[in-house]
């Protein structure tokens, strides 16, 4: 038995030949190959039909204290860092607010002339009360800003003017919205879904603040992922093959600009019910230092440079009192720190630091290290905390991997290497982009649009959370006392996401309980002050007593409070319900009683004790955050529209002036038209130099529209002449292929013995109709070309590309009709073999081989179908991410 398969790439028609003699099979292969040109044409047409899928994309934002990195996943782009407008892979977390515009990133930092309007390093004051030490520290670092207390929430806001104030959440929302815009420009499509990284030490108030900022920016947050977890995920994804059932303990040491974190992660494969054996990472221990980072080093370098400038006595003024000069010194200190990481010494220099006085001074690495000596002494601290949290020692850690830009400081590496006692520190991941790439992988996993190889993530709650309540008890002597109870809800380093249920068994009336942080004795006194309130929420329950009275005969199963710590590490009280069991008669004939479960929802009133979220009244205020953000965004769009129009007008004038010297344009214009166009272009160019750069958007658009209208006829004639060759060639090829296919099918129709009438797919009328359309199309083409040849190139053409495309569409419509008819035709299985056998008897193999012309015709007809790529999607480079096309189909 020799199976032979004939199939087109669009899977419309398939012929299967089974149990045929080898000689017959050989003949059938030749015969069918020579006659299947119609199927080749059908396949070619299907290959060029428009895709019915809609592209989507997801993004990640690695939200650092100084820098923001954005990554993207979209169909055809597996995992990619988004470039900003300066083509850089990271963007400063900064926004500059001027009267009529906003600037972001590097453009915002360029506004050192007025540092009062530049807002940065916002992460440290998110979700912080006004009396928090970090607020005072921020005010010390940036004295140019006016931080004031929000009396309603107890937090702070920036006073921009008497009329305008902005909260840190609003400013961060602007930056996130800008990040979204960069990602959308890169993806060339709207983006709403995002995963945002936050420091692992962020508490509940700080996490809610980031979610508020994302809401203001219009982002749908799929997850707040801890930045150390994102780094660990990125490391594991690219080393999936190295992970097995044996646990591997890795420490990631991340020193960024504002803080330092040490994380112990365990990698191993585990068995799951849903997807079998899969790799998993589990956060085992976390240690951190909130204020140890590169920014503190830069501040000390800045102060050192200010001291050197004052010692040079080039000015009688103290440079430290000049905010603009100090901003310049900070920028130079940042550059100097980077250079000193690779050089033993370097010269700091600033032109016009203050009062047009230049500054120049040499700084050595040893001087820098002396300035930061106490900071370097704190480097081992997070390592010790992480080991204590994980209940491990360094012997159990296989390697220590460096993350974060500040780990490039040589002294940091030297101190850390001694602290961990390893031979070397690993640098086998991208220290700057690992978190962004891990977060975007998680975004793809959470999105319904992509299929991602499972990689299980078990994050850990850094701070324990407990439930506290008081209950009155009666002693044996009848004395009543109040007993205070604590129940651990989530222990330190407890994995999440996770759901928990707390049952209150002895309450029969309304009562109150409290959700607070647990034992925080592992934090230093200073960290406890920065941490803020240890009381999270007061929960007041009402309706408990009425529920018991309603079902007084039922057995109480307690008051159950259902908690959920979601993927973002945010604790949510889902619901509270009273559960009871009531005995009911199961059957009239049977004596045993059956207990039915009764569950009633209890009314819950929450009182937030740490940091209040914006109230409903605030959200209805005229200065609503997202309304103000939209207003600012509209201004930015207006500015961008003007710049775009101005650039378009400049480009049009320059390019058209250049075209007036090109032969293809000179050939289609008369001398009169040429003089008119060149004169208007010259006039517009002069106007641009005198008035154009200060003109409004409307005036610029009118000027551009006027020039385009003047040149429209010329451009039309040139474009039409460019399109003729390709359009006419496509028309000829389509008509020739279809004509050949009609001859083939007519052959079978005329041989009634080959295909019984009941099994014929196409009728003779349908084929003649297609043939008539082809003939009419070719007649129109020949007549129109002849008429066009009589016209001058400067006249309006009669042979138009849109007319040629309309003729192509007409041919496609006729073929699509036959294509759909063939697609849904149901052949009778019992007649297939009979048809093939009859075919071999009636149409015998030719004694003579096919001529060269016939062979050439066959190749030309079949090759397009055989080589057609029926998909337009770009292949991805990442093996673990693929597009789920079913999610996009309309």
Domains of the chain as residue ranges with CATH: 58-292+380-459 (3.30.420.40), 294-377 (3.90.640.10), 463-619 (2.60.34.10), 635-716 (1.20.1270.10)
Closest C-alpha to 88, from 73, 109, 67, 102: 67
* pLDDT tens digits along 143-198: 989 899 998 889 999 987 777 788 999 999 999 999 999 999 999 899 999 999 99
CA 254 centroid distance within chain: 23
What does the block give as tokens for 843? 């149409």
CA–CA gap between residue 322 and residue 330 (Å, rounded)? 12
Interacting residues of 661 by C-beta distance below 8 A, sequence separation 6+: none
Is the pLDDT at 225 greater than 50, yes or no?
Answer: yes
| H or E element, residue 134 | helix 133-141
CA–CA gap between residue 180 and residue 191 (Å, rounded)? 7
Q: Are 165 and 171 in contact (CB under 8 A)?
A: no
CA–CA gap between residue 749 and residue 11 (Å, rounded)? 23
Q: Are 63 and 121 in contact (CB under 8 A)?
A: no
Of 40-54, 438-452, 875-889, give the lowest mean pLDDT range: 40-54
Interacting residues of 200 by C-beta distance below 8 A, sequence separation 6+: 226, 227, 228, 229, 261, 263, 283, 286, 288, 462
* pLDDT tens digits along 234-261: 999 999 999 999 999 999 999 999 999 9
CB under 8 A, 24+ apart: contacts of 686-689: 688/649, 688/650, 688/653
- How does the average pLDDT of the chain come out, rounded? 81
CB under 8 A, 24+ apart: contacts of 100-107: 100/635, 100/639, 101/635, 101/636, 101/639, 102/174, 102/632, 102/635, 102/636, 104/174, 104/175, 104/178, 105/178
Is the pLDDT at 748 greater than 60, yes or no?
Answer: no
3-state SS, 142-208, equals CCCCCEEECCCCCCEEEECCCCCEECHHHHHHHHHHHHHHHHHHHHCCCCCEEEEEECCCCCHHHHH
- Distances in Å between the Cα of 22 and the Cα atoms of 4, 16, 19, 481, 614 are 11, 14, 9, 100, 82
Residue-by-residue DSSP string for 327-374: HHHHHHHHHHHHHHTT-SEEEEEEEEEETTEEEEEEEEHHHHHHHTHH
Residue-by-residue DSSP string for 686-702: HHHHHTGGG--HHHHHH
Is the pLDDT at 44 greater than 90, yes or no?
Answer: no
What is the pLDDT at residue 825?
A: 67
* Percent of the chain topping pLDDT 90: 51
Q: Are 656 and 665 in contact (CB under 8 A)?
A: no
CA–CA gap between residue 748 and residue 753 (Å, rounded)? 9
CA–CA gap between residue 585 and residue 735 (Å, rounded)? 82
Closest C-alpha to 60, from 514, 438, 513, 503: 438
* pLDDT tens digits along 707-738: 999 999 999 999 999 999 998 888 888 888 77
Reported confidence tier of residue 101, pLDDT bands at 50, 70, 90: confident
Q: What is the CA radius of gyration of the chain?
A: 38
Q: Which residues of 822-852 are buried (b: 16+ CB within 10 A; e: fewer)?
A: eeeeeeeeeeeeebbebbbeebeeeeeeeee
Closest C-alpha to 208, from 95, 137, 128: 128
Identify the burial level of 482 via C-beta atoms within 10 angstroms of its C-beta, where 0-12 means exposed, 13-18 middle and 19 or more buried: exposed
What does the block give as tokens for 202? 């962020």
What is the pLDDT at residue 286?
A: 97
What is the pLDDT at residue 834?
A: 43
Beta strand pairing call for 535-542 and 603-608: antiparallel
Dihedral sign of CA atoms 812, 813, 815, 821 in order: positive
* pLDDT tens digits along 639-649: 778 888 888 88
Identify the burial level of 504 via C-beta atoms within 10 angstroms of its C-beta, where 0-12 means exposed, 13-18 middle and 19 or more buried: buried
Say whether the peptide bond before residue 401 is cis (omega within 30 degrees of 0): no
For residue 644, which phi and psi values (nearest 5 degrees)?
-65, -45
Q: Are 141 and 121 in contact (CB under 8 A)?
A: yes
Q: Are 265 and 232 in contact (CB under 8 A)?
A: yes
For residue 753, which phi and psi values (nearest 5 degrees)?
-70, -25
pTM: 0.71
Closest C-alpha to 401, from 239, 631, 528, 635: 239
Closest C-alpha to 193, from 447, 568, 569: 447
* Percent of the chain topping pLDDT 70: 80
Is the pLDDT at 406 greater than 60, yes or no?
Answer: yes
Is the pLDDT at 366 greater than 90, yes or no?
Answer: yes
Q: Are 236 and 243 in contact (CB under 8 A)?
A: yes
Within 10 Å of residue 331's Cβ, how many Cβ atoms? 16
Of 184-188, 268-272, 508-512, 616-620, give the lowest mean pLDDT range: 616-620
Instruction: Say which residue, 250 or 759, is predicted with more confidence.
Output: 250
What does the block give as tokens for 638? 């207006």
What is the pLDDT at residue 732?
A: 87
Closest C-alpha to 799, from 719, 732, 715: 719
What is the pLDDT at residue 388?
A: 95
For residue 635, which phi and psi values (nearest 5 degrees)?
-65, -45
Q: Which residue in the block uniquely carries the two structure tokens 């709650």?
A: 461
* pLDDT tens digits along 262-276: 999 999 999 988 888
What is the pLDDT at residue 812?
A: 85
CA–CA gap between residue 366 and residue 304 (Å, rounded)? 13
Is the pLDDT at 342 greater than 80, yes or no?
Answer: yes
- Distances in Å between the Cα of 394 and the Cα atoms of 221, 255, 388, 554, 855 are 37, 19, 11, 57, 75
Instruction: Say which residue, 48 or 220, is predicted with more confidence.
Output: 220
CA–CA gap between residue 127 and residue 213 (Å, rounded)? 11
* pLDDT tens digits along 790-816: 999 989 999 998 999 998 888 888 888
Tally the C-alpha atoms within 13 A of residue 757's C-alpha that lie toward its C-beta: 1
Please, which residues bridge with residue 350 across strands?
359
């Amino acid at each position: 038995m020799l199976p032979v398969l004939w199939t087109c790439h669009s899977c419309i028609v398939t012929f299967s030949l089974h149990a045929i003699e080898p000689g017959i099979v050989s003949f059938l292969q030749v015969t069918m190959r020579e006659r299947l040109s119609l199927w080749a044409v059908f396949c070619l047409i299907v290959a060029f039909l428009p895709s019915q899928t809609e592209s989507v994309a997801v993004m990640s934002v690695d939200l650092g204290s100084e820098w923001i990195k954005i990554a993207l996943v979209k169909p055809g782009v597996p995992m990619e860092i988004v470039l900003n407008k300066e083509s850089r892979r990271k963007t400063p977390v900064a926004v500059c607010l001027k009267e009529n515009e906003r600037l972001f990133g590097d453009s915002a930092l360029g506004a050192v002339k007025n540092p009062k309007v530049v807002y940065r390093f916002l992460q440290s004051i998110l979700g912080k009360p006004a009396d928090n030490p970090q607020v005072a520290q921020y005010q010390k670092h940036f004295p140019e800003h006016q931080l004031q207390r929000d009396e309603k929430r107890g937090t702070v806001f920036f006073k921009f003017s008497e009329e305008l104030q902005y909260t840190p959440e609003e400013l961060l929302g602007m930056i996130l919205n800008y990040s979204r815009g960069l990602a959308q420009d890169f993806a060339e499509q709207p983006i709403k879904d995002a995963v945002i990284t936050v420091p692992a030490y962020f508490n509940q108030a700080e996490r809610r603040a980031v979610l508020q900022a994302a809401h203001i920016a219009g982002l749908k947050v799929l997850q707040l992922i801890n930045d150390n977890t994102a780094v660990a995920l990125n490391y594991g994804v690219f080393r999936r093959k190295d992970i097995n059932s044996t646990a591997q303990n890795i420490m990631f040491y991340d020193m960024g600009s504002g803080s330092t974190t040490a994380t112990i992660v365990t990698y191993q494969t585990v068995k799951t019910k849903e997807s079998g054996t899969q790799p998993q990472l589990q956060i085992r221990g976390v240690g951190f230092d909130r204020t140890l980072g590169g920014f503190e080093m830069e501040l000390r370098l800045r102060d050192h440079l200010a001291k050197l400038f004052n010692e040079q006595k080039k000015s009688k003024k103290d440079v430290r009192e000049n905010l603009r000069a100090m901003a310049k010194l900070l920028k130079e200190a940042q550059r100097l720190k980077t250079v000193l990481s690779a050089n033993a010494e370097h010269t700091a220099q600033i032109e016009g630091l203050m009062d047009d006085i230049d500054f120049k001074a040499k700084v050595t690495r040893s001087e820098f290290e002396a300035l930061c000596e106490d900071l370097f002494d704190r480097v081992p601290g997070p390592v010790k905390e992480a080991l204590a949290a994980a209940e491990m020692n360094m012997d159990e850690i296989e390697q220590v991997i460096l993350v974060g830009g500040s780990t490039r400081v040589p002294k940091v590496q030297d101190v850390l290497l001694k602290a961990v006692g390893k031979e070397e520190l690993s640098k086998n991941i991208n220290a700057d982009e690992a978190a962004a790439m891990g977060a975007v992988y998680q975004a793809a996993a959470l999105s319904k649009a992509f299929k991602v190889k499972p990689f299980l993530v078990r994050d850990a709650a850094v701070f324990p959370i407990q439930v506290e309540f008081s209950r009155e008890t009666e002693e044996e002597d009848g004395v009543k006392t109040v007993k205070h109870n604590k129940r651990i809800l989530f222990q330190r380093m407890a994995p999440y996401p996770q759901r928990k249920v707390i049952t209150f068994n002895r309450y029969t009336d309304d009562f109150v309980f409290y959700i607070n942080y647990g034992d925080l004795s592992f934090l230093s006194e200073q960290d406890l002050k920065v941490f803020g309130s240890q009381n999270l929420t007061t929960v007041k329950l009402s309706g408990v007593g009425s529920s018991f009275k309603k079902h007084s005969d039922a057995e109480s199963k307690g008051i159950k409070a259902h908690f959920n710590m979601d993927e973002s590490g945010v604790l949510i009280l889902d619901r509270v319900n009273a559960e009871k069991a009531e005995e009911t008669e199961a059957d009239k004939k049977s004596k045993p009683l059956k207990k039915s479960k009764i569950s009633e929802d209890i009314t819950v009133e929450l009182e937030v004790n740490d940091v209040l979220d914006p109230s409903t009244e605030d959200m209805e205020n005229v200065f609503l955050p997202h309304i103000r953000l939209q207003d600012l965004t509209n201004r930015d769009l207006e500015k961008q529209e003007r710049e775009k129009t101005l650039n378009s007008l400049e480009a049009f004038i320059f390019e058209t002036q250049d075209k007036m010297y090109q032969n293809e344009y000179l050939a289609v214009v008369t001398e009169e038209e040429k003089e008119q166009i060149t004169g208007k272009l010259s006039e517009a160019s002069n106007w641009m130099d005198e008035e154009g750069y200060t003109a409004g958007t409307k005036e610029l658009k009118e000027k551009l529209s006027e020039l385009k209208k003047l040149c429209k006829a010329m451009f039309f004639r040139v474009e039409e002449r460019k399109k003729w060759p390709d359009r006419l060639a496509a028309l000829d090829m389509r008509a020739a292929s279809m004509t050949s296919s009609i001859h083939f099918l007519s052959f079978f129709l005329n041989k009634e013995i080959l295909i019984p009438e009941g099994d014929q797919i196409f009728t003779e009328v349908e084929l003649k109709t297609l043939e008539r359309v082809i003939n009419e199309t070719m007649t129109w083409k020949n007549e129109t070309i002849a008429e066009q040849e009589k016209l001058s190139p400067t006249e309006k053409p009669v042979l138009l590309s849109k007319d040629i495309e309309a003729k192509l569409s007409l041919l496609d419509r006729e073929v699509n009709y036959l294509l759909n008819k063939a697609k849904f035709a149901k052949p009778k299985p019992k007649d297939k073999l009979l048809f093939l056998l009859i075919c071999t008897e009636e149409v015998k193999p030719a004694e003579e081989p096919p001529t060269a012309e016939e062979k050439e015709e066959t190749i030309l007809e079949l090759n397009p179908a055989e080589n057609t790529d029926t998909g337009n999607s770009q292949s991805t480079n990442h093996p673990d991410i693929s597009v789920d096309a079913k999610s996009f189909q309309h």
